[in-house]
Amino acid sequence: MCASFLTRLVPSVLTVMLAASLAPAFSAHAASSDWALNEGGRMRLVVLPADPEGRRQAVLQIEPEPGWITYWREPGDSGVPPAVTMAPSGGFALERIDFPVPKRIDAGDVTDIGYDHAVALPLSLSGPPAGQEATLEATAFIGLCKNICIPFQAALTVALPANEAADADEARIVTDALGSLPAKAAPDFAVERHAISADLKRLTLEVALPEGAQDAQAIVTGPSGYVFFASASASGAGGKTTIEVPVGHLPKNYAIAGKRWDALVIAGGRAIETVLAFD
């Protein structure tokens, strides 16, 4: 949890809201948990039926109240990234959590990376195979911020019958969540070259942009807990666009050779995510 997030907490509100949010939210119907409620918003799990090997697609739905925000996997200057933990007794495991395209949210001298609207985080799960009754129990932990910041933790439970079938509305929620993820690089939109300065203070990306895109922004994640986003783009040679990303403080004696960073590039209403390899 970021130190600046902690300084924005209101202890009396935090105590009350955490006590309420830790109460289990039992399933209202077969494929979703009840909504867990908090002053800053609400969240629930939506779970689709398993395939024969027990793989499932699910989402953590988060709906901040108007004026509140929640966070991306690297939250920026403040906040906490979402986390989901499966109860081992249910036999489920979280294989992967994905994140829709976030936005920069500037508030004075603080810049957060996240969402100021409802968002659904896709979850890839493994567990009991289809045709077997099961109960999925998970703990979700997110941050919600407005003028104050409230860490929001809730126990979410979904009862899954042996003869489960996908609900059309819940299937749409999952499909829309998957459709909101950044795409892979494409011939018309890709990071074609990247380089970092010898002093590790400036990252340069050379990008082919989609037709009609005038500029681009990049959000780069380096070592765990580090995100760089104050990017500026300019037209370069051969019709390419150059994006300069200042790199802030890195861990002491950090060696870039052999590392892999991730870059999210947003331009022309599209977004791609790619790996930056430093050999």
d(CA 36, CA 98): 21
Backbone angles phi, psi at 251, to 5 degrees: -55, 150
27 vs 155: which has the higher pLDDT: 155
pLDDT at 124 over 50: yes
Q: What is the mean pLDDT of the chain?
A: 87
Domains of the chain: 3-179 (2.60.40.1250), 190-277 (2.60.40)
CA distance 45 to 32: 5
Q: Which of 146-160, 225-239, 252-266 is least confident? A: 225-239
Structure tokens at 201: 């203070």
Token pair 């892979």 is found at 184
- Rounded distance, CA 100 to CA 175, Å? 12
What's the pLDDT band for 236 if we cut at 50, 70, 90?
Answer: low
Q: What is the pLDDT of residues 161-190, one digit of tens each?
A: 988 887 899 999 999 999 999 999 999 999
Asked if residues 82 and 141 have their Cβ atoms less than 8 Å apart, the reply is yes
CA dihedral sign of residues 104, 110, 116, 122: positive
Structure tokens of 73?
A: 């996997």
Q: What is the pLDDT of residue 238?
A: 62
Is the distance from CB of 245 to CB of 203 less than 8 angstroms?
Answer: yes
Q: What letter represents residue 80's amino acid?
A: V
Q: Helix, strand, coil: what percent of the chain each, to 5?
A: 10, 50, 40
**Listed residue (159, 140, 136, 152) closest to 28, CA to CA:** 159
Could you tell me the CA-to-CA distances from 41 to 38, 44, 93, 172 in Å, in that order? 5, 11, 26, 22
Plot region of 91 (φ>0 → left; ψ -120 to 50 → alpha; else → beta): left
Predicted confidence (pLDDT) at residue 1 exceeds the cutoff of 90: no
**Assigned token pair, 5:** 């997030």
pLDDT at 270 over 70: yes
From the list 259, 240, 156, the residue with the least C-alpha distance to 191 is: 240
Question: With 90 as the cut, is the pLDDT of residue 234 above it?
Answer: no
Q: Which residue has the higher pLDDT, 24 or 202?
A: 202
- Greatest alpha-carbon pair distance for the chain in Å reads 60
Q: Are 249 and 262 a contacting pair, CB within 8 Å? A: no
260 close to 202: Cβ distance less than 8 angstroms:
no
Token pair belonging to 271: 């977004």
Q: What pTM, to 2 d.p., does this model score?
A: 0.86
212 pLDDT higher than 80:
yes
Give the Cα separation of 254 and 252 in Å (integer): 5
- pLDDT tens digits, residue range 44-54? 999 999 998 99
